[in-house]
Structure 1
Amino acid sequence: MPSLEGRNGTRGSGGGRKLSAPRLRSDAPERAGLDPGLPRRLVQRVRDLTAGEPPWAAGAVVAVGRGPVLAVEEAAGWAVRYAAYDARGGTGVELPASSRVPVTPGTPFDLASLTKLFTAVAAVQQIERGTLGIDAEVGAYLPDFRAAAVHRLTVRHLLTHTSGLRPELPLHDCADGAERLARLRAEAPAGPVGTYRYSDVNMLLLQQILERITGRALDVLVHDGITRPLGMTATRFGPCPGAAATEDQRRPWAKADRGMLRGVVHDENAWALGGVAGHAGLFSTARDLSVFCRALLSGGSYGPARILGPGFTELLLAPPGLGFALDQPWFMGELAGRGAAGHTGFTGTSLVIDRATDTFVVLLANTVHPCRRPPDSRPRAAVATEVARAVRDR
């Protein structure tokens, strides 16, 4: 496998001295201080996750690295297995074997809420540049968003999910973009400001701020400030041909009637917003996300590229975390407890970076293919725990 290199020493944010950090290379686990049996165990796990009836996911890819070593990159199952969902039988309608598409390590997946991590990095880049204040009020940047201004919501409230805003708005039911924008402008906190309440709306407001202060769309900010400097050529907002399929999206189990989805965003609100949203919309591969993880573990640098300075990477990942969740055993397993940071996505994705051991775990899966169901993060936690126990020198 080739070295995973960034491009030409581009800096993604700020200015100043050019930093350099190790690039990832594929190598044996023991070269990274990991148990040499880890790949075999994780191969079995991803195979188990994509087996059975129904499987946890139709397909899955896992990538694990420590230091500059990408020690595991394994795939199993199907990127496309089902033609439709049979609601009466509660089962997927399987494609003929000749029409199925296998998952490979390079298969892109709909990241769902992992998109929030990129929005958070884009915001902290603006904080580093001095164009955004973390404790500045939303109303200072979006005076037309009267509800946020009246309740004196701040950028920090949005990044830490303490705005009191409800988890989501039914923007997919709005007639047009003008109505969707009006709903966002009028949305007031439904709970106490300062109390944690996870909300997609936070990242939608943050997107509005970033686009207002920079004059550039979020997809451009993510590309120019994060993915292009890091050489993450497989990471983009959709459409993304060749991505793993997600849901046969129909009412009543979904919020829109769109049929079997592949290469277009699963989240209904992100779809209604044209596929580019602060909370969802990105597609990526395990390898690209490994580079993202390595950059954050290296203080914001990857090779000669820099997307954040070390102090601002610390701001991003220090308690309580800006956009990132910290030390959550329900999906981080035994990696939680020492400042591990990460996130999950509704489609079956997750990412964990553990600064205490310089380790990362990426698990991409299409658990919503062919239909959404109650989330089960036990496999995510089990994979992370397997990695935590493989670290030889804690």
Structure 2
Amino acid sequence: MLNRRSVLAVVPLTLTAALGAAAGTARAAVPRAARAGSADAPADVPRSARFDLPWHDFAPPGTVLRHGAPEEVGLDPAPIRAALDQVAAWTEPDPTTGHPMYSGQVSLLVHDGVVVAQNAAGYALRYADQQGDLLPAAQWIPMRTDTIFDLASLSKLFTSIVAVREIQDGGLGLDDTVAGYLPEFATNGKAAITIRQLLTHTSGLPADPSPALWQYPDMPSRVKAILDTVPQNPPDTVYLYSDLNMLSLQLVLEHLTGKSLDTLVRERVTGPLGLRDTMYNPPASLKHRIAAEEYEVGPGEPQRGLVWGQVHDENAWAMGGVAGHAGVFSTVADIAVLSQAILNGGTYRGHRILSEESVRQMMTNYNQKYPGDSHGLGFELDQRWYMGRLDSAATAGHTGFTGTTIVVDPLSRSVALQFSNRVHPTRNWGSTNAARRAVADGLADAMAVRAPDGRRSWYSGITDASTATLTTTVTSRRGAVDVSWTAFVDTEQDCDLLVLESSTDGGATWQPVPMTATGTGAPTGAVASLSGGTRSWWRVTAQLGGSQLPPSGASLTIRWQYTTDPEYTGRGVDVTGVRIADARGTLLDGDRDPGAFIASGWTLTSR
């Protein structure tokens, strides 16, 4: 099972709130050069390309994917190009490790219904053995944009869609017990586990079957092993990501409908959406298009040799290649269609697979009692460790052990897909999370952030483990000093912080200044720092008095300091409309006098 790093949720937000909020209604886009500073950046940015004007409803149901340049939808192409160049470079051996991050990869980016980038690099087949010895070059198979990948745990989304469709149609109850459908499941203290808990990984079941299912002699004994599983925790007491949840759900769905899971997925998902390259157990005739995987020849493994064209996951293989947790093969193009159907509210090209309310359920956080493990009915939510700068409380996605990643961001109507065959030739070459984040970051950075009323803003988008300061000095006169400004904050919650500080001795020592922010999703009350964010601008105020002030006529220095931790930066921070005043009037109007600031790690955006 893939290592997972939990992060704090940005704000407690469900998709129902995100897609139904009255706040965040469309405002007119302000014609200005893109903040990223690229010479290729479009001069006029449409509302749909504004990162700071999130959508709060589904995309138009008639939205159908088409290919186009980033500029056609108002995006800056430079960050996208840089991201794709980076993930392509990771197919080459690293001088330190002697091997690449992955043998090959395919990425696809969608914004506002347009496929703005599609990229393939490296090789679908490259290695001769588990040690990484190369095949003869003539036998290498280059990666293609239509390469078919073993999706691994992305398969859970297909199982979940079928289950949610059954809930929608009244055949399955979300809060029904599993044992109500499968009485034999109640053994070993599992009688209270519900369908909801399977879908949200709060059932208490262990992560994987033990012994592994392939160690049982036949299918009946493997099914019995799933049913006889002993819980690791009482239900709804802990979040534990578990393949057994989806294996159990598979058994419920098959019992309920009298159909196999692959038939249900074909009838209810891939068929209506026209996903011709999405299937379980692909035929041998497609092997030349399938990304090769691991050599299973080690002790304790089934001796399968090179896994290529068969499901990689051993438990799914033991289930005949059709399993609730793994087994689906697909391309980035097909998964882009599925993703757009989700953004459209459950429909694509006139074929509805889910109602809008069912899509909201899939993307609403049912795990608020487990901070950092937000989960809908199938989709993971708010996981910055792979969603990168597209992350928000409403962003949905999933990863697969083989190297697959889906990120669906309804706030920007964007999709980032990054598929690799990271387990070819071995699963032991390390994490590909940097690549997962890179494509999401590239798409997020291509969107514009614009200060209200067309003002210029000071922007800091520093990298991990960095500090940026924006400093100005005024002359104190009499009484309290008020500081106000407008801020856009998109950072990792409680980790990457924007603080306000003051100094009365020319910067030798600094004192923190409490701030109060107002606006959509702003922190409540006075706070020492700002972090997180909801892709909206906040009005921020602060007041200095007492020991924070120098004698009348002396200098008062004020600075904004933005500091990041070692991982997962967001879009960064904007500061604009700075005004410093006392009872006698304005001491500094930052819009009129940008030269009054000393910037380190900050850039003044152009109009």
TM over 0.5: yes
User: Which of 234, 237, 242 is the matching residue for 2:280?
Assistant: 237
Distance 1:205 1:46 in 2: 36
- 1: CA distance between counterparts of 2:80 and 2:67? 12
User: How far apart, CA to CA, are the structure 2 residues paired with 1:150 and 1:57?
Assistant: 40
Q: Which residue of 1 aligns with 2:43?
A: none
Give the secondary structure class of the aligned counterpart of 1:182.
helix
Offset of residue 293 of structure 1: 0.6
- Output one character per residue of 1:183-223: Cα deviation in whole Å (capped at 9) or x when no partner: 11111311131111000000000000111111111001111
Work out the CA distance in 1 between the residues paired with 2:324 and 2:431.
Answer: 22
Counterpart among 409, 415, 425 of residue 354 in structure 1: 409
Evaluate the alpha carbon distance shift between residue 36 and residue 150 of structure 1 in structure 2; reply closer, same or farther with a 3 A threshold. closer
| Partner residue in 2 for 1:251 | 298
Q: Does the 8 Å contact 1:20/1:305 carry over to 2? A: no
CA deviations on 1:318-337 (whole Å, 9 max, x unpaired) are 11311211010111111112
Task: Give the match for residue 10 of structure 1.
Answer: none
* Structure 2 equivalent of residue 389 of structure 1: 445
Number of aligned residues? 370
Distance, in Å, in 1 between the alignment partners of 2:62 and 2:417 is 20
The percentage of aligned residue pairs carrying the same residue is 43
Aligned to 1:329: 384
- Give the CA deviation at 1:149: 7.0
Look up the SS of the partner of 1:279 in the other structure. Answer: coil
Residue 315 of structure 2: aligned partner: 269
Q: TM-score, normalised by structure 1?
A: 0.91
Q: Structure 2, unaligned stretches of length 5 or more?
A: 1-59, 366-374, 450-534, 536-607
In the alignment, is the contact (CA less than 8 A) between 1:58 and 1:77 conserved in 2?
yes
Cα separation, 2, equivalents of 1:336 and 1:265: 30
Higher RCO by CA contacts (8 Å cutoff, separation 6 or greater): 1
Q: Match for residue 93 of structure 1?
A: 133
**Aligned-partner SS, 2:277:** coil
Q: What's 1:59 paired with?
A: 104
Q: Which amino acid aligns with 1:50?
A: T
Q: In the alignment, is residue 314 of structure 1 matched against residue 360 of structure 2?
A: yes
Deviates more, 1:254-263 or 1:298-307: 254-263
CA distance in 1, matches of 2:350, 2:78: 33
Corresponding position of 2:124: 79
Residue 186, structure 1, aligned to residue 231, structure 2:
no
Which position in structure 1 is the counterpart of 2:73? 32
* TM-score, structure 2 normalization: 0.59
The CA deviation at 1:387 is 1.5
Structure 1 residue 31 displacement after superposition: 2.1
Alignment partner of 1:210 is 2:240: no
- Partner Cα separation in structure 1 for residue 325 and residue 353 of structure 2: 20
Moved over 3 A (4+): 148-151
Native 8 Å contact 1:139 1:148 kept in 2: no
**Correspondence 1:220 to 2:276:** no
Structure 1 residue 181, shift from structure 2 partner: 1.4
Q: Give 5+ residue unaligned stretches, structure 1.
A: 1-18, 87-91
Tell me if structure 1 keeps the 8 A contact 2:177–2:193: yes
- Higher CA-based Rg: 2
Q: Is the 8 A contact 2:281 2:310 kept in 1?
A: yes
> Residue type of the partner of 2:82?
R
* AA of the residue aligned to 2:350: P
The CA deviation at 1:256 is 1.5
Q: In 1, are the aligned partners of 2:272 and 2:351 still within 8 Å (CA)?
A: yes
Q: Contact 2:201/2:241 (CA < 8 Å) preserved in 1? A: yes
Q: Aligned letter for 2:255? A: R
What is the alpha-carbon distance in structure 2 between the residues aligned to residue 34 and residue 226 of structure 1?
31
What secondary structure, in the 3-state scheme, does the structure 2 residue paired with 1:83 have? coil
More helix by share: 1
Greater shift, 130-139 or 149-158, is seen at 149-158
Please give the alpha-carbon distance, in whole angstroms, between the structure 2 residues aligned to 1:99 and 1:324.
38
Q: Give the conservation status (yes or no) of the 8 Å contact 1:64–1:361.
A: yes
Kindly provide the amino acid, as one letter, of the partner of residue 74 in structure 1.
N
Q: Structure 2: which amino acid aligns with 1:97? A: A
Decide whether the 8 Å contact of 2:294 with 2:426 is kept in 1: yes
Q: Does the 8 A contact of 2:83 with 2:441 survive in 1?
A: no
Match of 2:164 in 1: 124
1:280 aligns with 2:326: yes
Check the 8 A contact 2:177/2:191 in 1, yes or no: no
Contact 1:265–1:271 (Cα < 8 Å) also in 2: yes
Report Cα offsets for 1:280-313 as digits up to 9, x if no partner: 0011001001001100011001121111011110
